[in-house]
Structures are given as C-alpha cells and as structure tokens.
Amino acid sequence: MSRIAEKRAELPAWIADALPATAAAPNDIQSAAREQITQWGLPSLRDEEWRWTNLRNLSRQTLVPSAGSAVAEVPHPISAVLTDALVIEFVDGQLKTLPADLPTGLTLTSLEHASPEQRAAAFAPAATTPNDALLALNTASAQQGVVIEVAANTVLTRPIVLQWQDGVVPESFSQTRVSIQLGAHAQATVIESVLGMNQNLCWRNTVSVVTQAANSQLHHLSLGLDGDHHLLTDRTFVTLARDARYHSLNLQLAGQLIRREIDVNITDTGAHCDLFGLMMPRGKQVLDTHTRIIHNAPHTTSNEHYRTIADEAGRGIFKGRILVAQDAQKIAAFQDSRNLLLSDQAEIDTKPELEIYADDVKCSHGATIGRLDPEALYYLQSRGISFAKARGLLIVGFAQEIIDEAPLPALVDWLTKQVTRRLGGTTVAE
C-alpha cells in the first residue's frame, strides 16, 4: 500500500541549540524527551490537537534562552488584592524569591534543589505523540521551577501566588516546571498570574504537575491579565485520588498566543473536578484552551464551563474532551462551551468531545456560538441605557458567571474590574 511517510518540519535551530545535555528531569527521562523533541519538531497544523493553533509565528522567531540576570520590575498588582498571599516570584522563568515564614505543613522547594523523588514526581507525565512535543521539549530543557508540597491534613488559609513576569528581557524564552503535591485531606489555593512585561515578545513553555491524595481540595487559578505580545504554552496534568476535588479557573485576557492544556485524570471513586474558563481574545490574539478529563474510576463527576468572547480579529479556541473508561460506571459529566462573537474578523473554533466506553453514564455537552441578543440590547436601550453601556453590561454579565467561581470575594471583585477595564478599550462595532 502506498503510505507516504509524513515529513515533519525540523525543530528550529534556536530551540535545538538551547537543548541542554542534562536538565532537572531524571537523566533517562530527559534524554528520552530530548530525542522525542529532536525527532518531532514543533507541533504543526497536521497534528490533530494543533489543527487550529499555528505555531508558525513562533518558529520563525529567533529567541534567546533567558539567563538569570533579569530582575522583577513592578510589584505584582495581585499582591495588593491578596495581602496575605504567599508570593513566589519568577522573572523570565527564573525563580527569584520564595516566601519566608511558611505556615506549618507547607514546603516550597526550588526545582534546582529538589530531591530525586521530587524530580521524579515533577517529571512523571511522558510524551507519547507529536501532539505532546512541547511537553517533551519542557522535560528535555526545564531547569527552573518550584515544588509545592502541602502535608496531609493541612488546610492553608493563605493563597499561594505564583507570579510570572515574562519578557523583562525582550525576545527571550524559558522552560519552567511546577509540581503541586497535596497530601490527604489537605486544602490549598494556588494562583498563577502571568504578566507580559513592557510589550516585549517572549515565550514561556511551562508544565504543571498536580497530584492530589485522598479527599484533598485544590483551587487552581490561571490568570493572564496583562501584556499583548508574550506567548505562553502551558500544560497542566492533574491526578485525583479518592474523593479529591480539583477546581480550576482559567481566565485569559492577555498575550499574543496563549495555549493552555489541562489534563485531569480521575483515578478513584468520589473524585470531582470543576473546570471553568473565560477567554477574551481581541486584536490579533489567539487564546486557546484544550482540556481532557479522563474518568478512570466509577462514581466520579466532572463539570466544565468555558466561555469565549471574541472581538476585533481575535481568535478563541476551545477543545474539551471527556473520556469515560470502560467499567467506569455511574459517571456524571457535563461540559458546555458558550461563545460570543462580536466582530466579523473574529473567529471561534470549538470542539466539545465525548468518548464513552461505559454505559451507565450521564454525559452531555453543549456548545453555542452567537452574537449579543439584539432584543436584550434593545430592551436596555429602551430603558435609557446607551448602546455602548448596554453592550458592556451584557458582555460583563456573560463573563460574570465564570468570574464568580473565583474562591475569594476580594478576587472576584478585582477580576470583575479587570474584565470591565478590558472592555472599555473595545471598539463598538455594528
């Protein structure tokens, strides 16, 4: 039979040249990943998971690996909102400060000083296909990062904030790895906040590995609120043990290209995950989230709500997969993707997937794409509210349901302001 071997584009030289001989990953894992990335190159539109997200712009650049010289420029705005937060600062992917006076039960270790066991846990997920090329690249190169460990029965009241300042040095790129380990019955809130600095072009490829023991609870927020030119590729792996709960809020407003992938593996009964997301691409932004929830055990549940508001020439991409393994009975999984398209230059691509191998399940998904309801706009205007304001009200209302999922009231207020401020700049179309 005529099977033509697929030709893949080579890994750009500036990435290949930056591949270190050894990195933080255990040596055998690192060298295997190095081999994979060299063979695969960057993902292309021909790879199913990347058919809507083009990395061509990235591969055409020549970025330099970030060195340790950059220093933090501004205090992170979120520090003013969450005054008791434990702030971990990264600048261009380099760990700068770890907070002092940690509450009991919390251990923070920089990846450089991590023990072999900690490293093995942090680098556990393995790449299998060219779709995972960026994971392989990260495994092959990441040297910077942090290991967050919350001991069993510890309830952390202070949120942990990972503050990423990217692009302090223009045209740089970095690879980071975060490991979050929760012991049994532990509870924590981890907020990752990304700032693209000084409108500089830069790229950070990061991987987070979350492991939750029985009955633990994690609120995991990813906030991209500032900066127009940075690129971020971020993959998060979550493993849930019995009765563990994972709650994710993914709020992306900024960046030139943001690609988030969230893989949740539910391994035991009673576990639950909530994935909430809001993306607001405009300008020429590409904001992309791919989620995969795997129900590997019976009596597990998941709930996913993603919304996109695309304006100007922005592009929103959502792909969500729910997979129910064989014999994982009594599953309830719900997913919806609701999208607002505000301009004819904007584009929304969505693909809610169900892959079900068990029969006693209730799984459903819904997707809608549309514009603002003209009747709702008219109603508001007939009450004396200006068009622009009415439009803003409807959009914020649409976004609010997701923002309300933030764990702290102060954070909800602050995020609402960020979204409203963001809308102030949008042009009134139509």
Partner 1 sequence: MSEQQELEQLVQRDYKYGFVTDIEQEIIPPGLNEDVVRLISAKKNEPEFLLEWRLKAFRHWQTMAEPQWAHVHYPPIDYQALSYYAAPKSKEEIDANRPKSLDDVDPKLLEMYEKLGIPLHERAALAGVAVDAVFDSVSVTTTFREKLAEVGVIFCSFSEAVHSHPELIQKYLGTVVPAGDNYYAALNSAVFSDGSFVFIPKGVRCPMELSTYFRINAMNTGQFERTLIVAEEGAHVSYLEGCTAPQRDENQLHAAVVELVTLDDATIKYSTVQNWYPGDEEGRGGIYNFVTKRGDARGHRSKITWTQVEAGSAITWKYPSCILRGDDSVGEFYSVAVSNHFQQVDSGTKMIHLGKRTRSTIVSKSISAGRSQNSYRGLVHIAKSADDARNYTQCDALLIGDRNGAHTFPYIEVKNASAQIEHEATTSKISDDQIFYLKSRGISEENATNMIVNGFCKDVFNELPMEFAVEAQALLAVSLEGSVG
Q: What pairing do the DSSP bridges indicate for beta strands 217-226 and 94-97?
A: unpaired
CB closer to partner 1 out of 353 and 413: 353
CB closer to partner 1 out of 128 and 326: 326
CB closer to partner 1 out of 87 and 309: 309
Tell me how far CA of residue 424 lies from CA of 253, 286, 413, 421, 428, in angstroms: 13, 20, 17, 5, 10
**Among 65-73, 74-82, 323-331, 407-415, which window interacts with partner 1 (CB under 8 A)?**
323-331
Pick from 184, 354, 380, 394 the residue near partner 1 by CB under 8 A: 354
Q: Does 394 bind partner 1 (CB under 8 A)?
A: no
Q: Does 356 bind partner 1 (CB under 8 A)?
A: yes
Between CA 179 and CA 253, with CA 164 as vertex, the angle to 5 degrees is 110
In the complex, the smallest distance separating the C-beta of residue 231 from partner 1, rounded to whole angstroms, is: 23
Pick from 68, 75, 283, 366 the residue near partner 1 by CB under 8 A: 366
Question: Is the separation of the CB atoms in 212 and 185 below 8 Å?
Answer: no
Q: Does 370 bind partner 1 (CB under 8 A)?
A: yes
Pick from 363, 395, 399, 406 the residue near partner 1 by CB under 8 A: 363
Q: In 3D, which of 166, 111, 401 has the Cα closest to residue 277? A: 401
Segment 75 to 134, residues that bind partner 1, using CB under 8 A: none
CB closer to partner 1 out of 238 and 361: 361
Map residues 34-73 to x or -, x wherever contact with partner 1 holds by CB under 8 A: --------------x---x---------------------
Pick from 230, 352, 391, 423 the residue near partner 1 by CB under 8 A: 352
* Alpha-helix residue ranges (DSSP H) falling in 41-115: 56-60, 77-81
In the complex, the smallest distance separating the C-beta of residue 132 from partner 1, rounded to whole angstroms, is: 17
Contacts of 407 (CB under 8 A, 6+ apart): 159, 189, 219, 221, 247
Q: In 3D, which of 353, 298, 302, 304 has the Cα closest to residue 326? A: 298
CB closer to partner 1 out of 17 and 359: 359
Pick from 141, 339, 418, 426 the residue near partner 1 by CB under 8 A: 339
Q: What is the DSSP letter of 352?
A: E
The first and second tokens of residue 287, run together, are 């904001």
Pick from 73, 360, 404, 413 the residue near partner 1 by CB under 8 A: 360
Between CA 157 and CA 137, with CA 258 as vertex, the angle to 5 degrees is 95
CB closer to partner 1 out of 9 and 29: 9
Question: Is the separation of the CB atoms in 316 and 283 below 8 Å?
Answer: no
In the complex, the smallest distance separating the C-beta of residue 69 from partner 1, rounded to whole angstroms, is: 44
Q: Does 358 bind partner 1 (CB under 8 A)?
A: yes
Q: Does 346 bind partner 1 (CB under 8 A)?
A: yes
The first and second tokens of residue 388, run together, are 């622009």
Question: Is the separation of the CB atoms in 345 and 310 below 8 Å?
Answer: no
Q: Find the length of the chain.
A: 430
CB closer to partner 1 out of 361 and 395: 361
In the complex, the smallest distance separating the C-beta of residue 71 from partner 1, rounded to whole angstroms, is: 43
What whole-number distance in Å separates Cα of residue 181 and Cα of residue 199? 34
Beta bridge partners of 238: 210, 264
Q: Does 347 bind partner 1 (CB under 8 A)?
A: yes
CB closer to partner 1 out of 79 and 329: 329
Q: Does 388 bind partner 1 (CB under 8 A)?
A: no
Pick from 35, 112, 327, 413 the residue near partner 1 by CB under 8 A: 327
The first and second tokens of residue 118, run together, are 């900690």
First to last CA, the chain: 54
What whole-number distance in Å separates Cα of residue 228 and Cα of residue 256? 6
Q: What three-state secondary structure class fits 72?
A: coil
Chain positions contacting partner 1, by CB under 8 A? 1-4, 6, 48, 52, 326-327, 329, 339, 341-344, 346-371, 429
